[in-house]
């Protein structure tokens, strides 16, 4: 069955989102598009001054603009203080990808003691174990597994092949993308004469409201205490969060980040892709870590931090590596010169001490 097309007039969009309309209020908008080339009947936005030159070329029916660009555009416009934010909110109204039909597919397996709220949709191959609770209006996609005693908040969405471990909890409006694992066994092992012995992971994963968990991301259950993901956290794809970590509210973490166990990350942090964070450390609120950073010590002060060498021509990179390899010899020569001149080396320099991060 073909999905009905959603349309709004510019006047309706302006009123719904508190924007200033300039142009024909009766213009019908049936979707969104890029600024170039743009599409007839659709809405675009210009969020940066550097894109101003594209306004005269767009075929979009209307454009969301900041006031400083609006005077240079003759077409239909919605004027916003933050064009990108306004565009994102309007675009949500055209997104039909999260629609589903309520009910339990005949190929799903739902335990008799599981509790499903009103209006839930359970896809084919999904398994809902005993005593699990699924909040009203939630969607559990194909081949998802919700283990015994797990709780999922209202209007949450689990895409295909998601695993939620025993007794773990997701808040309201969670979005979990395909292949994510929430509450898998933490990497707890104890060495013995006969090899590694498993340390049971008896904690849970507790996820707050409005959290997004990307595809193939893994969040390990706690060893004794819980692993906690606070409200509004956004996790990209292929992230590893080890047992007993705590991620503060509204922190965003990009793809391929690895976080070792018992680490606490503050609120409103931004962590770049492929960053690695050691265990048992604390990162303050409002910290930004640039991509591929390596964090081995706690960070107590908000700010921007990075590490590693950015990409450069291979010849220059080889020279940099060669210099790094010579640092020990340079350090020895420097200490010898200081001793000869009877100089006192500064703390952390020339004496083998390591500065804090």
Question: What angle do helix axes 327-340 and 314-325 make, rounded to 10 degrees?
Answer: 40
Average pLDDT across the chain, whole number: 93
Give the mean model confidence (pLDDT) for residues 216-237: 97
DSSP letters spanning 91-107: HHTT--TT----EE-TT
Position with higher pLDDT, 353 vs 204: 204
8-92: in CATH 3.40.1390.10: yes
CB 218 within 8 A of CB 184: yes
Position with higher pLDDT, 56 vs 16: 16
Is the pLDDT score of 347 beyond 60? no
280 included as an active-site residue: no
Q: Which of 17, 243, 250, 280 is catalytic?
A: 243
pLDDT for 4: 65
Give the mean model confidence (pLDDT) for residues 192-204: 95
Q: Bridge partners of 157?
A: 139, 175
Q: Bridge partners of 191?
A: 196
**pLDDT category of residue 209 using cuts at 50, 70 and 90:** very high
CB 59 within 8 A of CB 39: yes
Give the mean model confidence (pLDDT) for residues 338-343: 82
**pLDDT category of residue 345 using cuts at 50, 70 and 90:** low
Taking the alpha carbons of 356, 275, 290, 271 in that order, is the dihedral positive or negative?
negative
pTM: 0.87
Domains of the chain, residue spans = 8-92, 103-305, 316-357
In sequence order, what are the residues at sequence separation of 6 or more whose Cβ sits closer than 8 angstroms to the Cβ of residue 29?
Answer: 7, 8, 9, 10, 13, 41, 42, 43, 61, 62
pLDDT for 69: 84
Q: What is the four-CA torsion angle of 150, 174, 116, 146, rounded to 10 degrees?
A: -40
> Omega into 146 within 30° of 0, i.e. cis?
no
d(Cα 210, Cα 224) in Å, to the nearest integer? Answer: 26
The CA–CA distances, whole Å, from 14 to 21, 22, 61, 116, 185 equal: 6, 10, 14, 38, 49
**CATH of segment(s) 103-305:** 2.160.10.10
- Give me 276's structure tokens: 């690695």
Give the mean model confidence (pLDDT) for residues 122-132: 98
Is the pLDDT score of 146 beyond 90? yes
CB 165 within 8 A of CB 186: no
What is the CB-side half-sphere exposure of residue 80 using CA atoms within 13 A?
26
Q: Bridge partners of 182?
A: 164, 219
């Amino acid at each position: 069955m073909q999905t009905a097309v959603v349309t709004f007039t510019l006047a309706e969009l302006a009123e719904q989102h508190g924007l200033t309309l300039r142009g024909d209020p009766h213009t019908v908008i049936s979707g969104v598009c890029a600024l170039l080339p743009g599409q007839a009947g659709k809405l675009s936005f210009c969020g940066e001054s550097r894109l101003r030159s594209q306004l005269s070329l767009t075929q979009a029916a209307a454009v969301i603009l900041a006031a400083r660009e609006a005077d240079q555009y003759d077409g239909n416009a919605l004027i916003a203080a933050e064009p990108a934010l306004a565009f994102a909110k309007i675009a949500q109204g055209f997104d039909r990808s999260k629609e589903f039909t309520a009910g339990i597919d005949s190929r799903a397996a739902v335990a008799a003691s599981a509790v499903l709220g009103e209006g839930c949709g359970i896809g084919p191959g999904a398994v809902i174990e005993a005593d699990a609770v699924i909040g009203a209006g939630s969607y559990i996609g194909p081949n998802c597994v919700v283990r015994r005693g797990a709780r999922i908040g209202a209007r949450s969405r689990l895409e295909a092949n998601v695993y939620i471990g025993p007794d773990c909890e997701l808040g309201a409006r969670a979005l979990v993308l395909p292949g994510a694992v929430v509450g898998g066994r933490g990497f707890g092992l104890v060495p013995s004469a006969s090899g590694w012995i498993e340390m049971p992971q008896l904690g849970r994963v507790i996820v707050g409201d409005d959290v997004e968990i990307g595809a193939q991301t893994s969040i390990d259950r706690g060893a004794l205490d819980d692993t906690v993901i606070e409200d509004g956290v956004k996790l990209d794809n292929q992230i590893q969060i080890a047992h007993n970590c705590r991620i503060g509210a509204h922190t965003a973490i990009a793809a391929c980040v690895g976080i070792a166990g018992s680490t606490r990350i503050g609120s409103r942090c931004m962590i770049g892709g492929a960053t690695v964070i050691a265990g048992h450390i604390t990162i303050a609120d409002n910290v930004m870590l640039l991509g591929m950073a390596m964090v081995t010590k706690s960070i107590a002060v908000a700010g921007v931090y990075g590490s590693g060498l950015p990409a450069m021509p291979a010849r220059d990179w080889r020279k940099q590596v060669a210099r790094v390899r010579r640092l020990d010899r340079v350090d020895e020569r420097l200490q010898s010169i200081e001793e000869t001149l009877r100089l006192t080396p500064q703390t952390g320099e020339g004496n083998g001490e390591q500065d804090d991060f």
